[in-house]
Structure 1
Amino acid sequence: MFEFPKFSGASLRNDLLSGITVALALVPEAVAFAFVAGVGPLVGLYAAAIIGFFTAIFGGRPGMISGATGSVAVVIVALVLQHGEQYLFAAVVMMGIFQILAGVFRLGKFIRMVPHPVMLGFVNGLAIVIFLAQLGNFKVKDAAGISHWMSGPQLWIMLALVALTMAIVHFLPKLTKAIPASLAAIVIVTLVTYFFNLHTRTVLDFLQQMTGNPHATIAGGWPTFHIPDIALNWETIKVVIPYAFIMAGVGLIESLLTLTVIDEMTETRGRSNRECVGQGLANVVTGFFGGMGGCAMIGQSMINIRSGGRGRLSGLTAAVGLMCFILFASTLIEMIPIAALVGVMFMVVIATFEWSSLRLFNKIPKTDSLVIILVSVVTIFTDLATAVFVGVIICALVFAWKHAKNISVQTHLEGDDKIYQLTGPLFFSSVHPFLELFDVHSDPKHVIIDFANARVSDHSAIEAIDTLAERYLKANKQLHLRHLSGDCRKLLKKAGNLVEVNVIEDPHYHVADDALA
């Protein structure tokens, strides 16, 4: 599980600097997600630091950043409102246990089965979600606590600083790659704001607005270990387990899809099962140290990768840096303009969105285009897990529908026997076309189905063969099967005396005649 990578000077510098950049970007995200979940800002910040630290060490994808996320926050808000933070911490621990079990039973490999159109929809939808989330930073609250859009000089200053940030991120790499462009942009815009005394919202303003507390701060102490203060009985378990299961599923889906995206970007391959274990371990620890739980963050991961952070040290630096900000440097972080972080995230949106997918709509099947659009829309209006499930189900149904049409037969006579040469897969979707291929009343006494070019795939196929055999039996005729593969033959043993393997032509299948007679 643990490995000691070798660092070159360049990779060491890139990981350290990109990790610091990510740590800066994590602060407002963690605070915002804590607000969504209905918990205090430190609960989100502790979760970001702890989860980021443990997944950097034990996770399956170097360079991927994990922390408190909105997808998990929207699941737990109801639990917090109804039962309080202690139930949340218990659910986070249970969530981690479920994720560890998913890794132990090697369920992470199934993420490779997600179709490419679903991946494109996931990435595009998430990019839009990140973009829409940033628009909230262009709102302020008046004295009555009502939010409204910025206007006048405040808006123009905000827009100018966002544009300056984006310009630095875009053009600086063309001049030098000595430091990450995102980090340079944040530092430069902060200095411009400070020395020119520009009146714009800072991280401190953001925190105080989110919490409604004019004295709020990100400063805090070390998180302390504590066992969730809940009653250990069946009623508590019934409350906690459903939330924990959903949180675990949402967290793993987002983490493993983010892992796949980074794999494609870096042309490397992460280890999905190890990532499940790493995410689970991180959430178990987080629950015992007062964190809200979380998973991989595609926005921060994109910042890290594009800033040059490819190793585990980048994630460790981000986690340790965030904790140092909480403990020692809160005043410095609180003076960073929100506009600088918004500009960085806007560049993440541009880099994350698969613009090439817009050119694919006239070149790929319409069903794939529909899946891309649908997954993007569902991601925006619900959550990532639901969007992925919807996309996978639609792709599976389309696949089944198309392959149901691929079954056909050619017939010929061998003496007095009629041979049906079957071609194509026999499964739940092709059962009805299969049954319509046979003319029971006109066929001779003995009918043979040749499966040399076909395959029996599931229980629905077996039942279809049983149904067909019964039809021939009622007509005082016999149905025989031949050229079955080994796995097909095992499935078809359930058909009993209604089916028969031609052992003369299939000597490889040593099946006792008594078993089929």
Structure 2
Amino acid sequence: MTQKLFKDDRFKGLSFNDLRKDLIAGITVGIVAIPLGMAFAIASGVKPEYGLYTTIIAGLLVALLGGSRFQIAGPTGAFIPILLAIVLQYGYENLLIAGFLAGIMLLIMGIFKLGSLIKFIPRSVTIGFTAGIAVIIFSGQIGDFLGLEGLEKKEYFHQNIIQLLQQINTINWYSFFTAAAGLLIIIFIPKLFPRVPILLVALLVPTLIAFLFYPDKVATIGTAFGGISQSLPSFHIPEITWEKILMLWQPAFVIAMLGGIESLLSAVVSDGMTGKRHHSNRELMGQGVANMVTPLFGGIPATGAIARTATNIKSGAVSPFSGVFQSLFVLSTLLLLAPYASHIPLASMAPILMIVAFNMSEYKSFFHVLKLKSSDSLVLAATFLLTVLVNLTVAVQIGLLLAMVSFIKRMSEVLEVEKVIPAMSKGTNELTESENFGIKCPQLAFFTVEGPLFFGAADKFESMITRSINKRPTVLVLKMKHVSLIDATGGANLRSLIKDFKKMGGTTLIAELNDEVTQTFKTSGLYDEIGEENFYNSAADAVDYGLQIINVGKCPKCSHTNQATCQVFIESKSIHKSS
């Protein structure tokens, strides 16, 4: 079992030429990852080097231990709001603990093979919080884009917007020009030179302009953070207490869920681009280990990055060694060029994050779901607004709750309970179909039940059957051929209904149960309570037996009128038609 779980064929059969391709792809991705790592760290409220540490360590571990050949892991924009909120509310040290706890959760998900469950999170929820995150990231860069002074990062969106409006008169036009230059480069250069590492160019060109033409006029990494340390990250175990675990488990869970969703989505995208298949549970385990180790070196939470993974594939990557080479390249750059990073203007990072926010917003899908004006639209809008106005933790919880309520409502509507006019078996009476159409037997109630009989639909089922029982029939036939499942609540309601009917002297017959639901009946004891003799493979046979119980010949109504008033269809045609 253990050998099968950790069996990894992603490194087999590699040639020197394959490694050369991985080296080129790794360097290419590294060039993209460096500005993003610093930008995401700054936007998350921590020092830029912590983003680089995350890129190096998480990228290396996920490449070695993950479940995808091409996954590139590191800090991503999706984490920015939750990480910033943790830093503002609890501090940087507690952010490390939250990341560590999230890593444990991801590892447990992978060990217990829960990778497939993450895929069941509704699209309306993911689009909602992704669009909300995009709005927070975009608005969070306006201050650096305009070079506004006196800004402090606040926990809530409205507080930051009010602060921007209050300080709008402090625009630094040098910062604006720097940021605008970077934005124009990102928009137009790819159209002319598609193979240029656009994010690096958008970072370096504005930096050179600011350094050469108006030094000391704009805020830089050096003035804001004191530069970037030209050294390896130091090992440090944060102080984890039970009180901190209780305080941080909710944001840690959101980090784990976001990390799992984005990692598996990135792996699915890479599968579509390459035709390879990823191992979802091993990917979660790799992400879990990476997020447990990264905080020990000061790094922030990481996940699979869709854009960087796609860049890796387009650059010719063959194996996970491209992710290893990416980490080594970023490490080398940190050790060699860190002092020069202090000259990078914060304004040159703002357009990079704004473009990231725009690309991740999925605005087309967002407005498409809103136009549906359905329960999905409500879930989407609620998740989006809560992400922006409150926080991501609350948004995900409420979004999932609303989605579950919506799902239960839809499933309850799937259940159909329909009363059907049954047919007497052949030989009981020789009346023709046309002569007896519309005549009913008051002593036999026949219902077809279709759909899941679960807690959301149990009340509907019970109320419809109870109305019929109140008319005092002798036999109740339930055709349950298309009942896909029955849960504890559905079973309890059915048991109560049958007991009440039995006290009234009635008999319940169950027809055409599938094997799975039959097993549920037996496990719950309901099968024995009803009696094996009252289960039938054919609804027609159940009706035949029911008419024998009624004894049509001695029925008071039939004896009084001297004719059989029960509905008769030769060969039980109406029952077969109802199926």
TM range (shorter): 0.7 to 0.9
Cα separation, partners in 2 of 1:483 and 1:221, compared to 1, 3 Å: same
TM-superposed deviation, 1:461: 0.5
Asked if the contact 1:75/1:247 (under 8 Å) is kept, the reply is no
Corresponding residue for 2:232?
A: 222
Corresponding residue for 1:125?
A: 132
Cα separation, partners in 2 of 1:78 and 1:30, compared to 1, 3 Å: closer
Cα separation, partners in 2 of 1:346 and 1:227, compared to 1, 3 Å: closer
Corresponding residue for 1:437?
A: 464
Cα separation, partners in 2 of 1:228 and 1:205, compared to 1, 3 Å: closer
**1:24 has 2:60 as partner:** no
Q: Cα deviation per residue 1:184-243 (whole Å; 9 max; x = unaligned)?
A: 222222222223235222222232xxxxxxxx332143234455567xxxxx4x225435
CA distance in 2, matches of 1:120, 1:72: 16
Residue number among 440, 445, 453 corresponding to 1:426 in the alignment = 453
Gaps of 5+ in 2: 1-5, 154-162, 425-442, 540-579
Cα separation, partners in 2 of 1:140 and 1:89, compared to 1, 3 Å: same
Asked if the contact 2:102/2:256 (under 8 Å) is kept, the reply is no
The residue type paired with residue 430 of structure 1 is A
Cα separation, partners in 2 of 1:174 and 1:424, compared to 1, 3 Å: same
Cα separation, partners in 2 of 1:314 and 1:392, compared to 1, 3 Å: farther
CA distance in 2, matches of 1:74, 1:362: 28
CA distance in 1, matches of 2:181, 2:355: 12
**SS in structure 2 at match of 1:455:** coil
The residue type paired with residue 46 of structure 1 is Y
**Matched residue pairs, number?**
482
TM-superposed deviation, 1:345: 1.4
CA distance in 2, matches of 1:133, 1:127: 10
**1:408 has 2:404 as partner:** no
Residue number among 297, 301, 307 corresponding to 1:302 in the alignment = 307
Corresponding residue for 1:176?
A: 193
**1:395 has 2:403 as partner:** yes
**SS in structure 1 at match of 2:456:** helix
CA distance in 1, matches of 2:95, 2:261: 25
Asked if the contact 1:117/1:369 (under 8 Å) is kept, the reply is yes
**SS in structure 2 at match of 1:360:** helix
**1:162 has 2:179 as partner:** yes
Normalised by the length of structure 2, the TM-score is 0.73
CA distance in 1, matches of 2:24, 2:183: 23
The residue type paired with residue 256 of structure 2 is L
Asked if the contact 2:509/2:535 (under 8 Å) is kept, the reply is no
**1:471 has 2:500 as partner:** yes
**1:252 has 2:256 as partner:** yes
CA distance in 2, matches of 1:141, 1:113: 45
TM-superposed deviation, 1:497: 4.3
Asked if the contact 2:58/2:291 (under 8 Å) is kept, the reply is yes
Asked if the contact 2:230/2:339 (under 8 Å) is kept, the reply is no
Mean CA deviation greater in 377-386 or 113-122: 377-386
Asked if the contact 2:147/2:172 (under 8 Å) is kept, the reply is no
Corresponding residue for 2:530?
A: 499
Residue number among 214, 219, 243 corresponding to 1:201 in the alignment = 219
TM-superposed deviation, 1:402: 2.5
**SS in structure 1 at match of 2:231:** coil
CA distance in 1, matches of 2:44, 2:82: 9
Cα separation, partners in 2 of 1:122 and 1:59, compared to 1, 3 Å: farther
Corresponding residue for 1:511?
A: none
Corresponding residue for 1:481?
A: 510
Asked if the contact 1:58/1:278 (under 8 Å) is kept, the reply is yes
Gaps of 5+ in 1: 208-215, 231-235, 508-517
CA distance in 1, matches of 2:213, 2:262: 40
Cα separation, partners in 2 of 1:325 and 1:63, compared to 1, 3 Å: same
CA distance in 1, matches of 2:64, 2:292: 15
CA distance in 2, matches of 1:506, 1:75: 62
Normalised by the length of structure 1, the TM-score is 0.80
CA distance in 1, matches of 2:42, 2:179: 20
Asked if the contact 2:379/2:403 (under 8 Å) is kept, the reply is yes
Q: Cα deviation per residue 1:400-433 (whole Å; 9 max; x = unaligned)?
A: 2123233221322355643212223211111111
Cα separation, partners in 2 of 1:56 and 1:143, compared to 1, 3 Å: closer
Cα separation, partners in 2 of 1:143 and 1:44, compared to 1, 3 Å: closer
Larger radius of gyration: 2
Corresponding residue for 1:458?
A: 487
TM-superposed deviation, 1:254: 1.2
Superposition pairs of residues 116-155 of structure 1, within 5 angstroms: 116-137=123-144, 138=146, 140-141=148-149, 149=167, 151=169, 155=172
**SS in structure 2 at match of 1:400:** helix
Asked if the contact 1:34/1:41 (under 8 Å) is kept, the reply is no
Cα separation, partners in 2 of 1:168 and 1:313, compared to 1, 3 Å: farther
Corresponding residue for 1:510?
A: none
Cα separation, partners in 2 of 1:342 and 1:221, compared to 1, 3 Å: same
Asked if the contact 2:72/2:308 (under 8 Å) is kept, the reply is no
Asked if the contact 1:51/1:283 (under 8 Å) is kept, the reply is yes
Corresponding residue for 1:212?
A: none
Residue number among 208, 211, 220 corresponding to 1:191 in the alignment = 208
